[in-house]
Structure formats: structure tokens, C-alpha cells
Chains A and B, each alone.
Chain A
């Protein structure tokens, strides 16, 4: 194995990959959420924004990069989980929680896989989904109507909300873990980082849940 591959395969190397790809994905979540808020500016604004994104030739580069980051995060996460399980072949008959172990921290792989499942459904529904109304003469896709139509199905909205809660759960441990893995946390700031991590998880989940709640249950 070459020197660089060995670094990427090492325990800390893998953790660093998780942290960096996680940070990039968090950036994506923020920009996606910001875009979502255009839904409140009306169909035209949202559709034009969506059109501007997909009609930019750089979108292919961005999508390739994003897919690579997603895969890097998921594959590394699975490898780390498998290695961690292998490190303890015989389980204890009795264990007690002594430190900061939480439900979120212990179920990162499952909340992550649920979010991945959601991502596949999300892409099939919206990116590759059948439009409810045809594109306009200048080729602008009516993604707004598609989103409103999907969210008006209560079952879909509930599924979406549940997945976003899982995402928030994942983030509540992920953000603080990111700082600690990259060696950026100082003891005096750790308590603040942990609180911010939980608030970020709640904030992102709440931010994304606004849309299914508004279009599915209020409007």
C-alpha cells in the first residue's frame, strides 16, 4: 500500500475523512436549505432558481464532487463500523453507560443509513421524478408544483419529517465529533461545542421540516 493510501486507511485517517466529508455535506445541507426557503417567494422564484442551477454546465462537476463526498462518507462510515465491531468479537453480558454515550452517538451508522435511504427516495421523487405540470416554453421545470404535490400527500410528508428528525439526530453528535476528530476542540470550549452541536441538529431538522409541515398540513 502506498504511503498516502496507508494514511487514508489508518484509524485516524478514516476519522478525518469522516470529519471532512461530514463538514462538506453539512455545507451542502445549509445551501440546500437556503434554496428551499425560496419556496416561500413563490413558484416562479423557486423554479427559476432550480433552472439556474441545473442549466449551469458546472452542475455536472458539482454533482460529481457531491456524489464522491457522499460515497466517501458512507463507505468510510460502514468500514469504520465494521472494524469497530470486529475489535470486540465477544460482547459483555452487562454494560453501563459511564461517559457521554447517547442514543444519537450509538446509532450514527443507522441514522446515517436512514438518511442515505431518504436521499435515494428524495432523488427519485424530485430530481428524476415525473413532473405534475409540463415545463414552460423556455424549458423551466415546474419543480415547485411537484414539491407541493408530493408534500400534500400526508404519508410522504410524515416520512420526510421522520427522516429529517433522523438527520438532526445524526448531526447532534456529528458536529461535536467533527471538531474533536480534527483536533480543534479545546477543553474550555468543548461544552459550548456540544451544545451548539445539539442546537445545530435541532435547527437543521426544524428548518427542513417547515416545508412538509407547511405544504402538507397547514396550507
Chain B
């Protein structure tokens, strides 16, 4: 049965605007709607009234691209674990609910407009070292290097990261260490990524710091909020790789 809700949405004209919450009442919300479809409905209504629509990020709406964000009632990607906002459905809410919707809040994630934030800082971290430089051949060569089951599973789990930024949003320190650790793990434990592993971790952490992300205080909020359930043990691995990288570089010079 359809129901009515109250939305408290963060509206901000641009990076330079201070921003504020604006309240909207939305009727006839179907429990079968996805959360983003509910926002689409609101936007249609706003457009009909000649008002500015709410800007929010979205792309595939299949939970795999990492474009959608939204901090819903104090939780990145809303109340469901292991899913993105686009996979959240209105059946998780009920008549009369008040839903707060905020953008990811972190210094490196500047608000572009309303709920849209600039996540290009993640791209710059990847550009610093999230790649391999060796030629790995064509698709048929993928199985030419045997890799143990444990390592391939670890690398695959880390590679599931879609770079949405929920880890940063959830962390009380706005730390990007879960994201960086997933990328470092994915590349460093496989033979193809092995030769550059210490250089990579050093460069990626350096850019992460320059971008202004906070530091991990080992509270595991990132892992709980991650739609791809990236494990916090990766952060331990990131720390280990970084320490070894710096010790090696101290002795090699």
C-alpha cells in the first residue's frame, strides 16, 4: 500500500554555498519503488511546480557502478547492509517516516550541488599507483600464471570495490584507507602487481594524504558501510605494505 513520507534533503547551490536542509512531503510512495525512483518522483513534482530539482548521482542503478551515494538517516547507502542506494527500496520505510538525505561529507569530497559530491580525489589516488605497468598479454594469457586459491580470492574480494566513497562517508575521520587498502591489496598480492607493490603503496598513500583524507582509528565503520563488504583487514595489509616500503627505501638509499 502506498504511503506518505517527509524528506529532509540537503540543498546546496554550489561548492561556495553554505547549504541547508529543505523539507518535502511526498505522498503515494510505492513500497516497490527504489530509493532513487522515489527521488525521481519528487523531482518530477518539483519540475511541475517550476522549482529546482534535487541533484543526486546515479548511473547503472544495478549496484555495480559506484555512482550513487547518499547518506540516508545517518547511514551511507541507507539501512541495508552490503548494497548501494540504488538497490535500496521504499519497502524499508513506512508511513510518516522522516528521512534525512545528506551528501557524503569530507573535505576532499566537495559538494558540487545538493547531494552530488566531487569524488575525483579517488581518481587521483588511482592515478598515483592503482595500475600495473607490466604487459600481461591478452585474455587467453590470464590463466598462464597459476595463482593460489586463497590469494586469488583475497584479490578478487578487494577488487569488488566500486570506489563509491561510502567508507569515507562512514568514517568519523573521513579516512579513505579502506578504499586505498582495497586497491593496494588487489594489485599487490597478485604476481602481476608484485614488482611495483612498494612504490605503489608509497605513492597512493602520499596522494591520499595530500587530498586531505583523515586517518584510520580502527573503528570498523567503513567495513560495515561498504556496499561491497570490503574487509578492514585490508587496512592492516595497507599499513604493513607501507611500513615495509618505507623500511626498504630507508635501507636502499
Q: Give me the interface of A with B, judged by CB distance under 8 Å.
A: 3-4, 6-7, 10-16, 80, 83-84, 86-102, 105-106, 108, 173, 176-177, 180-187, 190
Contacts and interface: CB of A to CB of B under 8 A. Distances in A.
Given A11-B205, A105-B217, A108-B217, A87 B222 contact: no
Nearest to A105: B219
Interface of B: 8, 19, 21, 71, 73-75, 100, 102, 105-108, 170, 172-175, 177, 205-206, 208-209, 212-225, 231-233, 235-243, 246, 249-250, 253
19 contacts: A11-B177, A11-B215, A84-B173, A84-B175, A84-B217, A87-B175, A87-B213, A90-B105, A92-B102, A96-B73, A98-B170, A99-B222, A100-B219, A102-B219, A180-B232, A180-B239, A182-B243, A183-B240, A185-B233
B98 to A, nearest CB: 10
Nearest to B8: A93
A106 B235 contact: no
B236 to A, nearest CB: 5
B105 A88 contact: yes
Nearest to B19: A90
A87 B237 contact: no
Given A96-B75, A183-B236, A84 B214 contact: yes
Closest 8 CB pairs of A and B: A183-B240, A99-B220, A87-B214, A98-B224, A84-B173, A96-B74, A87-B174, A94-B74
A87 B106 contact: yes
A99 B208 CA distance: 23
A7 B198 CA distance: 14
Nearest to B75: A96
B233 A190 contact: yes
A95 B76 CA distance: 9
A99 B235 CA distance: 15
Contacts of A176: 218
